[in-house]
Amino acid sequence: MGILNVTCDSFSNDGIYQDPQQALERARQMAAEGADIIDVGGESTRPGARTITAEEECLRVLPVIEKLAQEIKLPISIDTTKAIVAQRALAAGASIVNDISALKFDAQMGQVIAHFGAGCILMHIQGTAQTMQNHPDYTCLIDEIKAGLRAGVGKATAAGIERNRIVIDPGIGFGKTTEHNLQIIKHLGEFACLDLPVLLGASRKSFIGNVLKLPVDERLLGTAAAVAAGIINGAQIIRVHDVGAMAQTARMIDAIVNS
């Protein structure tokens, strides 16, 4: 899954694709490098990020999604927590909704996804983007994340979303400390009990910088290590900025795992 940010305040400083033609060119590049899904996001979810209105988010993402849907033969995911944004993005050509709240932030989200028969990525978050890194705290980290994801899956199926359209994401960096993130990747195999595909979104994140003492633009090798460990431990989708390098990493690890 290649990340296509159309924000002005992305944590990774890559939110430069607000022009639909520029976004299309970046999407074409990611497709050529090995992306299978393009994930379009219009609202930053970095710690402490400001919230934006649904109208502003739509103004950012819809022209890009419309352009991509016409010219890129890959599934498009809309990264949003707002049902109206998801509805308009799906109508414009997206086919997956990537909801960092696992349907918690907008009560209508499940019904929108079900109505369109779309794919659904449910992520675990403790708190909100504004509060999640204040004091992340767990009594039993993996069990609590599993419980949160299980609740999200229950909401999704109750809303009419077919189970075979659901992916789960333990939420690296979303209400977790560096140690929490390391433990999630180490124990990723424990999420197999939910019997759903697992997405890992570790690309360039601060826990890599904290371990390696590196700024965001120097975390390629740390990301590759996290991706490799994640795939070995059961990740089936990786959400990344550096598609070419991570596609090679994934192919090599797949070859080893499947040998």
pLDDT higher than 60, residue 9: no
pLDDT higher than 80, residue 10: no
pLDDT higher than 70, residue 153: yes
Token pair, residue 186, equals 């180490």
pLDDT tens digits along 63-103: 999 999 999 999 999 999 999 999 999 999 999 999 999 99
Residues counted in the chain: 259
The string of DSSP letters for 45-108 reads -STTPPP--HHHHHHHHHHHHHHHHHH--S-EEEE-S-HHHHHHHHHHT--EEEETTTT-S-TT
| Residues annotated catalytic, as ranges | 205, 239
pLDDT tens digits along 201-221: 999 999 999 999 999 999 999
pLDDT higher than 80, residue 44: yes
Distances (CA, A) of 158 to 123, 191, 225, 249: 17, 21, 37, 37
Structural contact between residues 202 and 227, judged by C-beta atoms closer than 8 angstroms: yes
Structure confidence at residue 129 (pLDDT): 72
pLDDT higher than 70, residue 17: no
Structure confidence at residue 215 (pLDDT): 96
Report all structural domains of the chain as residue ranges with CATH numbers, in order of start.
2-257 (3.20.20.20)
Token pair, residue 6, equals 């159309």
Q: Summarize the confidence of residues 173-182 as an average pLDDT.
A: 96
Local confidence band at 20 (pLDDT 50, 70, 90 cut-offs): confident
Structure confidence at residue 16 (pLDDT): 61
> For residues 210 and 208, what is the distance between their CA atoms, to the nearest angstrom?
5
Structure confidence at residue 180 (pLDDT): 97
